[in-house]
Amino acid sequence: MNRRHFLLASTGLAALGTGFLVRPPGEFLSARDLPGRRRLQMPARLDTRASGRLELTAMEGRSNFLGHGETLTTGFNQSYLGPTIIMREGPLGANVRNTLNRAVTAHWHGLLVPGEHDGGPHLPIPQGEFWKPDLEIAQPPSTAWYHTHIHGATAQQVYSGLAGVIQLTDGRDDQRGLPSDYGVDDLTLVLQDRRFDGSGRMVYDVDMMDVMHGFTGDTMMVNGQVDTVAAVPKGIVRLRLVNGSNARIYRLYFDDGRPMHLVATDGGYLDTPVVLERLRLAPGERAELLVDFSDGAMPVLMSDGDPNQGPGGMMGRIRGLVDTIIDRSFPVLPFVQDDSLPVRITRLPEALGGPMPNLAGPRTAARRFSLDMGAGGMMGRGMMGRRGRGMMGGFAINGRPFDMQRIDLEIARGSVERWIVSTSMLAHPFHIHGALFQVVSDNGRAPRPENTGWKDTVLVDGTTELLVRFDMPASRETPFMYHCHILEHEDAGMMGQFAVS
Ligand code: C2O
Ligand code: CU
Ligand code: CU
């Protein structure tokens, strides 16, 4: 009996391996049998292309994720998460209002805008106020996202819902042969894992182990929905994956082994699709896949366990071994066919025309970054340190915990720099604001296939070498950040900041 048969054989809410809840899709023969509430919904769409205006309001709301038990949540323009913002190149006048009783920010993760418009920790929108950055969008099409970024509170605030997706488009996807019918053959999938208490309320109760390993949940949520099924046409479908989890690292694959064709990474299209059997997606990363559903089958998108969690979590060397002994894989999202949906694309495009990064050139001086978790690790005194907002010390980059008052680097605008990032404990997704980079090497080898395009976030497990191009200016008052995108690590001090001029 393979995993799929196991899924089909189980009935009702089946707790699998790690306690992930999913109802097997096998009980539905087609989308017609799928109850409306089980059908995955796309985030609302906010198309800014005609108006050149973007209105977002951070607000509180009540969410009922499990069908019983309400949670007080937050979102942009709605009670949890925010709309998918469709934008194109050109001026975009944004207005972000904050109706919450605490400061938030609106960071545009993946947009290349100057530091004063970036929405980082130096740009809080106080309670009851608004922020009006005049954005100028000038970069190739991509899937980006936005989220709050208050230092020390990012993890809790994002967890409670302050995040959403951005689709930057040039309207030429038909020419590229790419699916672009929102919610039909072009699916936006925000992956988040959450915890719930006995009364069905979503909870964020971090203890020291959660800070150490990053906070993970036992219930999978896609677009803020639990236990849903994606209905797709019998053709080629585009999946825009956004890892909006606080800490969980996914390694995605289909249970029937069907290939996933990677067409875009953080910074936009690849030149040609890359076939993957598994896709590693760390917090903050995006990937666009094409998947062929024309066979009419009902595959399940699965993930391997998070290498940072579980018994092998702290001991990098035996992590792989643990995973072969204990199967920690879990279902992320089942798919069913919906014959009523139009089939628009039946062939994979040969080329996408994305400009591949090629930053090699005059040798730039290298900067080294070590992502530190403290010499004592979990056993040491670092745990009880006074830094890191009282949670624990030791989280730092190059030995220095984040300090809002300290500019760590001054970078020349227009330069390309070699950044060598290394870890000694756990794997950390390293993110840079206001810049795109090329992964040059990963532990001395060529980058993984999913890291060959333009990136703004990359999972570092050992030593990863990057070439980073700094085109956007940032003053000392509103510097750019670089940090681990495990939000508990970021809040605890694994972050630095830089000015560009
Ligand atoms: Cu996605 Cu500094 O953030
Ligand atoms: Cu960012
Ligand atoms: Cu980290």
For β-strands 107-109 and 71-76, DSSP reports them as unpaired
Token pair 């053959």 is found at 185
Q: Which of 295, 199, 279, 202 is nearest to 239 (CA)?
A: 279
Q: Are 396 and 494 in contact (CB under 8 A)?
A: yes
Q: Among 220, 208, 257, which residue's Cα sits nearest to residue 391? A: 208
pLDDT attached to residue 34: 85
Any atom of ligand 1 within 6 Å of the Cβ of 122: no
- Those residues with Cβ within 8 angstroms of residue 51's Cβ, 6 or more apart along the chain or in another chain: none
Tell me the pLDDT tens digit for each residue of 450-480. Answer: 999 999 999 999 999 999 999 999 999 999 9
Check pocket membership of 224 for ligand 1, CB cut-off 6 A: no
Q: Is 240 in the pocket of ligand 1 (CB under 6 A)?
A: no
CA of 180 to the centre of ligand 1 (A): 26
What do you get for the CA distance between the two ends of the chain, in Å?
61
Q: How far is the CA of 431 from the centre of ligand 1 (A)?
A: 7
- Contact criterion met (CB below 8 Å) for 105 and 87: no
Q: Relative to the CA of 149, which ligand 1 atom is closest?
A: 2
Nearest protein Cα to ligand 1, atom 3: 109
Count CB atoms within 10 A of the CB of residue 68: 10
pTM above 0.75, yes or no: yes
Distance 420 CA to ligand 2 centre (A): 19
Question: Side-chain half-sphere of 140: how many Cα atoms within 13 Å?
Answer: 19
- For the chain, the residue count is 501
The model's pLDDT over 15-66, given as tens digits with 9 standing for 90+, comes to 334 444 444 555 666 777 788 889 999 999 999 999 999 999 999 999 999 9
In whole angstroms, give the CA distance from residue 115 to residue 110.
13
Enter the DSSP assignment of 311: T
Question: So what's the pLDDT on residue 327?
Answer: 79
Q: Work out whether strand 409-411 and strand 495-500 pair parallel, antiparallel, or are unpaired.
A: parallel
- The answer, yes or no, to whether any atom of ligand 1 lies below 6 A from the CB of 489, is no
Cβ count near 198 (within 10 Å): 6
Can you tell me which atom of ligand 1 is nearest the CA of 433?
A: 2
Average pLDDT, consecutive stretches of 10 residues, N- to C-terminus, the chain (501 residues): 37 39 56 86 98 98 95 98 98 98 98 98 98 98 98 98 98 97 98 96 95 95 96 97 98 97 98 97 98 95 91 50 74 95 97 90 84 62 41 84 98 95 96 98 97 98 97 98 98 98 97
Q: Which residues make Cβ contacts (< 8 Å) with residue 137, sequence separation at least 6?
A: 87, 88, 89, 90, 91, 92, 111, 113, 168
Q: How far apart are CA 195 and CA 376, in angstroms?
A: 29
Q: Please tell me the distance between residue 283's alpha carbon and the centre of ligand 1 in angstroms.
A: 10
- SS3 state of residue 111: coil
Does the beta carbon of 286 lie inside 6 Å of ligand 1?
Answer: no
Check if the beta carbon of residue 410 is closer than 8 Å to that of residue 501: yes
